[in-house]
């Protein structure tokens, strides 16, 4: 099953609506989800057009009270307090790294932080995010991952690095830059995901 795009919290949707497709997939019996996003680079070695496999995340959006599991627990999916010690499947991360190496694609491995958006981050925001261990920042993926893991669905996540964070405010990030970087990211992600699917052991 493939989704074309997603809805975002910043568009005015509730967390239930943002994560509803994950619940549908779980009802259909899907036990592995591959999530992708566009993200800004915080790690200084990342460049626009690069790809990062997610090893962990920082759920700032949840710390601000927007956890998608807030409210009555859906016991048919999972327990009230699900474990998040391994949000992204370690075996799938290793497999994606092997596939990328075979394809000679540079694949970073790092921590993704989710903000609500839609405004881009201020220089002070970015310095704070770097200080707490984030390598890339975006406006999606974490709510879906939390709901997926609540339902015991395995997750593999990738960030396409769409722009380089500016920690001193000397340059401006534009939506056009993000779109241009996407043209470099798509063939890399396509190759990695195709290779993972071909080799995966379900």
Q: Helix, strand or coil for residue 188?
A: helix
CB 134, CB 112: distance < 8 Å = yes
- Write the CA distances from 169 to 11, 33, 122, 150, 166, integer angstroms: 26, 36, 8, 38, 6
What kind and span of H or E run contains 4?
A: none
Give me the pLDDT at residue 120, please. Answer: 87
pLDDT in tens, the chain (202 residues): 888 889 999 999 999 999 999 999 999 999 999 999 999 999 999 999 999 999 999 999 999 889 999 999 999 999 999 999 999 999 999 999 999 999 999 999 999 999 999 998 899 999 999 999 999 999 999 999 999 999 999 999 999 999 988 877 777 777 777 788 888 999 999 999 999 999 986 6
Give me the pLDDT at residue 26, please. Answer: 97
**pTM across the whole model:** 0.94
Give me the pLDDT at residue 167, please. Answer: 77
CA distance linking residue 84 with residue 69, whole number of Å = 13
User: How many C-beta atoms surround the C-beta of residue 151 within 10 A?
Assistant: 19
CA distance linking residue 124 with residue 17, whole number of Å = 31
Q: Where are the alpha helices (DSSP H) in 48-122?
A: 60-61, 90-102
Give me the pLDDT at residue 202, please. Answer: 60
156: left (phi over 0), alpha (psi -120 to 50) or beta: beta
Q: Delineate the domains of the chain, giving CATH numbers in brackets.
A: 31-199 (3.40.50.1580)
- Write the CA distances from 154 to 29, 32, 42, 65, 202, integer angstroms: 12, 5, 26, 24, 10
What kind and span of H or E run contains 14?
A: none
Give me the pLDDT at residue 5, please. Answer: 86
């Amino acid at each position: 099953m493939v989704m074309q795009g997603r809805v975002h919290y910043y568009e005015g949707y509730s967390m239930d609506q943002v994560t509803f497709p994950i619940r549908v997939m779980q009802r259909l019996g899907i036990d592995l989800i591959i999530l992708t996003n566009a993200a800004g680079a915080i790690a200084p070695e990342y460049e626009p057009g690069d790809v990062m496999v997610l090893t962990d995340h920082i759920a700032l959006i949840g710390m601000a009270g927007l956890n998608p599991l807030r409210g009555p627990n859906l016991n048919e999916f999972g327990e009230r307090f699900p474990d998040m010690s391994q949000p992204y499947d370690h075996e799938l991360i290793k497999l994606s790294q092997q596939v990328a190496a075979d394809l000679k694609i540079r694949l970073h491995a790092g921590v993704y932080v989710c903000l609500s958006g839609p405004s881009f981050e201020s220089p002070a925001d970015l310095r704070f995010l770097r200080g707490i261990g984030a390598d890339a920042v975006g406006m999606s993926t974490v709510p879906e991952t939390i709901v997926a893991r609540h339902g015991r669905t395995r997750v593999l996540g990738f960030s396409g690095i769409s722009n380089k964070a500016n920690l001193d405010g000397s340059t401006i990030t534009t939506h056009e830059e993000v779109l241009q970087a996407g043209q470099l990211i798509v063939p890399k992600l396509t190759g990695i995901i195709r290779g993972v699917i071909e080799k995966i052991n379900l």
